[in-house]
Structures are given as structure tokens and as C-alpha cells.
Structure 1
Amino acid sequence: MLKGKKIVITGASSGLGLMTAMKLVQQGARVAITGRNESKLQAAVQSVPHAGRLSTYVLDVTDAEAAAKTLDRIWREMDGVDVLVNNAGFGYFERFIDAPLEHFEQMMDTNYMGVVRCTKAVLPQMLRRGSGQIVNIASIAGKLGTPKSTGYSASKHALLGFTNALRQEMRGTGIIVSAVNPGPFESPFFQTADPGGTYVSSVQSLMMKPERVADAVVKAIVKRKAEIDLPGWAALGVKLYHLFPRLSDRIAGGMLNKK
């Protein structure tokens, strides 16, 4: 199913993006990974079996011109792109009252506008061809806000709004638009989001392994899923919260305050 598929993953020099690339390459896909740091990208290649099917491109998703040029180059050099996985993102966990405005701007610029820029660069060519898939790595945080994540949750909420609206626009075009929304999992993400380790320590028993999330991304591609929420308990919690927000705040408010 994946053999010969041409897939681009942004923000993939480490963590979830790189692990997903490994799994896709092992199943026969041709994968281009992007990241801001050339040396990290080259180190990533060395860790991937079957690296002959993996290529690297330096890309900062906050740079609109670079996104357009680099993704156009990838399209030409790979002779098309079947799937774009918008994975680049980061977060800060901090109280709203203490958070500087630039942190909100930075998260929105990468987590939301970065996806918009990369999708803008690839989608017109997919539409001309009449096939393709956009997979956006959002977060359960985009559906369920928790203390100390006002900026991060807002950026992922924006990404989910964009994803859901674009999915409707693409109906009948041959383009699939997907979202993968993980809860907490082991990731370099927390080096920035939680440098003191408070959150990681408090939810250690609930942390997913990154392999589980990478498998969900692969599943979204293979089965052309509209959306995957994981883990199951988090997906159920989101549904209950949306049905009974005030009751959920009273019952689970303390449980959600782990940062």
C-alpha cells in the first residue's frame, strides 16, 4: 500500500517525524524529511535503515518564501508528492499571566501558519493532478485546553479548525485531509515545553511511546482516515468534556492541572 508512495514530513530531524519516516521507509515509501538544522538532518539519515529511500531538505516553516521554494523543489525532484505530513511544531507550558506575547506569536507562526504555508505550496499541484493527502499533526490539546497551555492549545485549536474546513473544501477533488491528535507521548517536544520536567513527571504513567503515535500517522495515511485521536481515554475525555463542560471542570479540573 505504501510502496513507492512519495511522502514529505516537516520537522522530522528527530522525534515523531523521524520515527514516522522510519516506519514509512521500511514499508517501501520514498520519504523527504525537512528540518531547520542541516547537521541534525544528516545525523537522522544515519539512523534510518533503508536510507536510500530517504532524502533531506533544510526548511524553516516560518519562512513563506523558503516553504514555497523548497516544497516546489521536492515536488520536482521526487516527481510529485503523494502525502504531506505537517509535523513541525513546538510549545511552551506557562501561565497566561507570565507568558510573553512573543511566545504566543512564535507558536502560532510555527504550529498554525507553518502548516498553512506548506499546504499552500503543495495543494495546488495535488489539485491539478487530482490526488493527494494532507496529514496535520495537531493535538488533543487543540480540543481540550488545560492550565499553562493557553498559547499551545490555541495554536492547535486553530490548526484543527483549518484542517476541518479544508477537508470540506476538498470533498470531491481526490484530496484527503487528515488530523492526528495525540495526547502526551515521549518526545523532544518537552525539552522546550517542560524544561523543568514537572509535567513529564506528573503524567509519566500516562505517556505513550512515540512508536504508538507514529503508527497512528501511518494508519491515517494507509486508511485515508479523516481523524485519529489517541489514546482512547483522552479521546473519550474530550467527548465527555464537550457534552458536559461545567461538570467536567468540577470533576476533572484538578486532574488536568498537571503542568
Structure 2
Amino acid sequence: MLKRVKTLRFLRNEVVLITGGSSGIGKALALEAARRGAIVVVVARNKARLHAVAQRCLILSGRPAFAYQLDVTDPDTIDQVLSRIQHEVGGIDVLINSAGLGEFTAVARQKFNSMAEMTHINLLALMYISRCVAKQMMDQGYGAIINLASLAGKIPTPNSAVYSATKAGVIQFDNVLRMEVADYGVQVLTVNPGPISTAFWRADRSGSYRAHLPKWMFIQPNELARRIWDNVGYKTREINVPAYVACLGWLYQVIPGLGDWAIKKFFDFQQDKKDL
């Protein structure tokens, strides 16, 4: 069982399913997996972008690549697409949940619909897809589930309460899932990156959130993709990038009062009551 998991380190001919695979980190992960010889399956809502990514993967890997349109907020569609993948591609060896949504605004101004959508995409859909694929991997006796959480799940920042809550939920979900599937030869890897240089930041419409972050803090998606694939098939529990993430997260838990003060100073945060 352990020997079979180790073969995932090389990815050659392994079936890799990536949600949110049409752009951003999901696309970078798909292309890097293809370079390593994987059979890549990408799912997302944008059909045209999906097929473009799959075509690129086919060229890079010389192996079949597949694209399935999927709205991760619809559990019935998830079931149907996973069934199609099982019959048309084969068993899933590696699952990466990278689909995500963010909106950066103060809680008091956030609408219920945006709260619900973030929670559904970032957390509920991730949990359900992980659950479905975990059952298959437990039956086959090996596999890897990689879930994209965030630095925000460990260190709070102003105007990101709901987003941070969903990512903290991913971290704790993975901590429990990891224990439940470990004896079946399934790796669960949680990825907690800092800000990634992708179109995700369009969610920060005012640009004020990103403006407080220095350029050196942003991670390139290709670099993160390589780091993730380099840890699949090992006993790695978490990837915290940049390295200071784990340290700052620990410090915040030990001295949260000082952490709150430092974060508010860093973001120059002062709530304007007139805007509420």
C-alpha cells in the first residue's frame, strides 16, 4: 500500500483531477502535472478555457487529457461528472481542490449571497468532492487529496472574515480527513499559500487590500505548482508558503492580542462607520 502511494511522486500515467483547472493555480497545477507525464482531468465552469488547458496538457504530456464542465455548487452535477470520469478515464489517483472564490469587504457590508457563495465553493464543495473521491481511493488502497487552503486560514486580516473562515474550515477538515484515511494509504495534503499572483485579486475591486501587500510577498503560481507536486506521495501534511506562514500562525495563536494590533497596523486598518 505504501509502495503504491510512493509511485505518485513521479505522476507518470497517474490520473489527476483538478477543480478550478481553467485558470490561476489550478491551470498551473494542470500544466505542471502534464509535464511530469500525468493523465490530467480539469473541471471548471468555463468550457472554452478548460478545453484550451486540456489541449495544452495533451501536448506537454503526450498522454490523454480531459475537460469536464462543472459547477461545484451543484452536488448532483458533481456526482454525474465523477461517474463519467470513472467510466471514461478511470480511477482518480490524485485529487486537487483548487476552485475558490474571494470577496474582500468588511463583514458589516457583506451580503448574505456572497457569504453563502464563498462558503459553498471554498468549503462545502471541497468537502463533498473530497468525500466522494476519498471513498474511491480507500477502495483502491492508495491516493492523494490536496486541498488549497490559505495563509488567511491561520492569520486573520481585515476585510477577509468570511474568506478566512472558509479557509480555516478547510484546514480543520483536512486534519480530520487525514486521520480517517491514513490507514487506507491515502495522503491528505493541505496547502496554505500567501497571496498568489493570479486573476483572483480581481475580487479586491478597490485594490486597497492588495495595495498593503509588498510585491515580494506574492507567490508565482508556477513555483507553487512545482512545490505542491514535489510533495505528493510523501508524508507531508501541510505546505506553508512562504516559510514565515507557519511561524506567524503559531505566534498569532500564542499572543493573539499583539497579533491583532500588528495586523491592524500593517493594513493601516480603521473602520469608517459612515460606510457601514
TM-score range, shorter chain: over 0.9
Partner of 1:119: 130
Q: What is residue 148 of structure 1 aligned with on the other side?
A: 159
- TM-score normalised to structure 2 length: 0.88
Is 1:25 aligned to residue 43 of structure 2? no
Find out whether 1:202 has 2:212 as its counterpart: yes
List per-residue Cα deviations over 1:205-229 (Å, max 9, x = no partner): 2211112221222123243521111
Deviation at 1:127, TM superposition (A): 1.1
- By how many angstroms is 1:200 displaced? 2.4
| Structure 1 residues 6 and 224: CA distance shift in structure 2, 3 A | farther
Q: CA contact under 8 A between 1:87 and 1:137: conserved in structure 2?
A: yes
Q: Partners of 2:72 and 2:108 in 1: how far apart?
A: 28
Which one-letter code corresponds to 1:21 in the other structure? A
Contact 1:179-1:226 at 8 Å conserved across structures = yes
Please say which of residues 246-255 and 91-100 is displaced more in the overlay. Answer: 246-255
SS of 1:79's partner is coil
User: Would the alpha carbon gap of residues 258 and 247 (structure 1) be closer, same or farther in structure 2, given more than 3 Å must change?
Assistant: closer
- Indicate if the aligned counterparts of 2:40 and 2:54 stay in contact, CA closer than 8 A: no
TM-score w.r.t. structure 1 length? 0.93
How many residues align? The count is 258
| Residue-by-residue CA offset, 1:49-70 (whole Å, 9 max, x unaligned) | 4264321111111000111110
Structure-2 separation of matches of 1:18 and 1:161: 26
**Shift of residue 119 of structure 1?**
1.6
What is the rounded CA distance, in whole Å, between the counterparts of 2:131 and 2:262 in structure 1?
A: 42
Report Cα offsets for 1:3-24 as digits up to 9, x if no partner: 1111100011011001111111
Q: Note if contact 1:25-1:53 (Cα within 8 Å) is conserved in structure 2.
A: no
The correspondence of residues 1-259 of structure 1 with structure 2, limited to 5 A, is 1-48=10-57, 49-50=59-60, 52-191=63-202, 193-205=203-215, 206-256=217-267
Runs of 4+ in 1 over 3 A off after TM superposition: 45-49, 256-259
Task: Provide closer, same or farther for how the CA distance between residues 16 and 102 of structure 1 changes in structure 2, counting only shifts above 3 A.
Answer: same
Aligned to 2:105, the other structure's residue is in SS state coil
Q: CA deviation at 1:46?
A: 4.6
Counterpart CA distance in 1 for 2:11 and 2:265 is: 43
1:155 shift after superposition: 0.8
SS at match of 2:191: strand
